[in-house]
Chains A and B, each alone.
Chain A
Amino acid sequence: MNLEKKIILLLCLFFHDALYAELTIRITQGVGKQTPIAIVPFGADKGMPVLSVDIAEIITNDLIRSGRFSSTPQKNMLQKPTTGAEIDFDDWSILGVEAVAVGRISQMRTGSYNIQFQLFDIYKGEQIVGYRMPANDKTLRRSAHRIADMIYRELTGIRGVFDTKVAYVKSNVSRNETSYSLIIADSDGENEQVVVNSKDPIMSPAWSPDSRQIAYVSFEGNASSIYLQTLRTGNRRKISDHPGINGSPAFSPDGRKLVLTLGGTDGNLDVYILDIATRALKRMTYNRAIDTEATWSPNGKEIYFTSDRGGAPQIYKIFLNSDKAERVTFQGNYNSRPRLSPDGKKLAMVHLYRGDYRIAIYDINKKDLLILSSGMQDESPSFAPNSDTLIYATKMRGNGVLETVTADGLVRQRVASKQGDIREPVWSPFLKL
């Protein structure tokens, strides 16, 4: 899909869903204006072949998608500098632009490049940040995301998450058969890579803290099992295949353990902790109710989970050193699938609100609940590693699509959607460089 088609699609999304667009615009105005910036098309050395990706376009799209920036369209630019020395600060000041990014790409040898970029403060007439980085055809896109992350951090004070990945499950329904894939894509939805394909359902992907492995549930052979797969090699091993349910895996912050759900022959779902190296299993809940969807607190001391021991699903937590469960949510009669923000301050969940399943966020200290999404069947909230944004699944014309929303609820965006029914997005940790 080329840029024009993408923009048209994006516009269609905005105008199709007027309420959605209105909501985004109205509320972002409430937070303060979007910082006006300009990302000037990057220059290239003479004689260089045209690159497969447009670095400036990727950076611009990333920053616009965050909802915190507006950008000067190329046609309105009075000049197109590629180095700091060429910038005429008055030209940009007239346009009301606060920061300008410029850059150049040089080819070292075939398929190998050097990218330099600089970010300038227009009012002060000073460089804010400047870097030079090597890249090749495979890493150009990632380099663009990294530059967007640096700009985002300098201008907002928040670490960017453009150079991260999202894992999700896609189902393709054909005439006689449904197939399921586990897919990993860049945070902007591009660069999809299928890591598992199956004719049986795949569920509940979970990233290891080093983002090198992914755990998931597969129903191969008409029974549920939990697999651990190394992303680089594609090698996997079955790490839980007890009778009955094996579900809902989540890594401990140190990556050594998984919290998971086992049902056993009698189908009583309880939460267990599995030591990945020794396979030792420790039972954490003993209730006859459904206890599932467990997740670790970032400090590794507590487990949050869903339980309907009180009659309807609510979120509970257990302190690992005491084994005593305490109820966390009291608002509404359906709260499930807890996920903690990496900074440990907020709890995201699925919350039933006036008949609709919505993504809500609970401030652990203030004890207040904020509804973030507007769909009817929103599910699977997952925090970005900077705790500032979440991704979740919603439905559009019967198909699952992904949306992101800032944790303050102010900026909501749809992730570029591809074919198929997409669900269970999980945001990766920060990636190693």
Chain B
Amino acid sequence: MAVTGMNFTLLLPELILVATGILLVLLDLFTEQKRVLVYAGLAGVLASLLALIPGFGTTASIWADMIQVDSLAGFFKIVFLAVTALALLVSLEYVERRQIQAGEFYALLIFATVGMFLMASSLNLLVIYLGLELVAIASYALVGLLKQDGRSVEASIKYLLVSSATSAVFLFGISLVYGTTGSLALPQIAQALAAGAASQPVLFAGMLFLLAGLAFKVAAFPFHMWAPDTYEGSPTPISAFLITGAEAAGFAALLRVFLVGLPGLADAWTTIFAALSVLTMTYGNVTAISQTKIKRLMAYSAIAQAGYVLVGLAVATGQGTAAMLYYLLVYAFMTVGAFAVIILVANSGAGEEISDFRGLSQRSPFFAWALVIYFLSLIGIPPTAGFFGKLNLFSAAIAADMTWLAVVMVINSVISAPYYFKVIRTMFLEEAAEAEPVRAPASLTWATAITLVVTILLGLVPDQVYSWVRLVAGAL
């Protein structure tokens, strides 16, 4: 008996990442030059990106149907690799300054990426769960790496407790779904649903558990309480990585589980997602207004943005999915970019309060203007990428006869403007305590430049990217 579909070529991106992670741990033992590790990690990410090419445009179910290679998986893998590469870049200086063990730091980052790959590229609940757990376990360690900082340790423990509890909820959901449908494979579950299993209350309970488990991972409203503390306490590059990468992976799993596996229960879960979406964006935005620490502000802003993305699941159409994907892509770049600026300010000796951004426009005009563009994009002001991201979600909601949801989105965008503008005002209108220019390391400049170009480019030529994303969403 052999494994059906033992295809190493299509699994190569994952294999390369695993090898890179192991290599980083080993390389760490032999070199004092920790920068080498970042370059090795970037090389691994690039190699993995190139290894995606053979699988481009093909749809295949490999390794006994455990791994699904399709354009949705390809899309998410590109997003994850971009986020990982940027996280490696912005970590370079940070890791040296904070004396974090570099080898393990970068290796865990890469391993977490493998977990995200598994979450996005499987139609099997078991593998999705394993991917989720891989991301989570790597993140617990990464979040708690600032061992001298009590907040980091607290963040790690909170994340560990909440996340393992929610993993249990998710597992319970899997067991209930498996119990009623007799399969862990999402297409088979959908078949069982179509054959009349949908009326079973057990399956409904299972769906609720799956929904709650994944909603925790994307920090949607009633399940968000771990997020602000975790994102505030963890090392800043890790906050950026979790907010963008891990959250996108959570949405990838949500898309797979609900659109592929449970379309038979769509009436129920679209209503739930619509409610979650409204609550999440309103809560995130209203709470963000009163924050004085930049990382907490970004955390609540991340909760609000998750609310916007949930609109795509609430409408549950191809257009909605495409809008979600586009927004996640845009969101990854603008958020990592904003965090690059936060890291720059923190590295320059100032803290992580919003007031520490005073006079940044004089101390470092390039980074100040970059942050302005990221924030305008987060609010959704044209011609930035964020505007088109929101516009797509907005029109998807209207096309699905959910105009009220679109209206709530617009109101929320207006609510969100003041707290972003507060930071901008601090940067431009208030005088800095010290006027000397901020020294920007090349790695941060590169990360900012790349994210800036992508944020502007996706705003100027959104159509090409959006038509690609439409294709990807159609393949789901």
The answer to whether A binds B is no
Q: Which residues of A line the B interface, CB within 8 A?
A: none
Q: Which residues of B line the A interface, CB within 8 A?
A: none
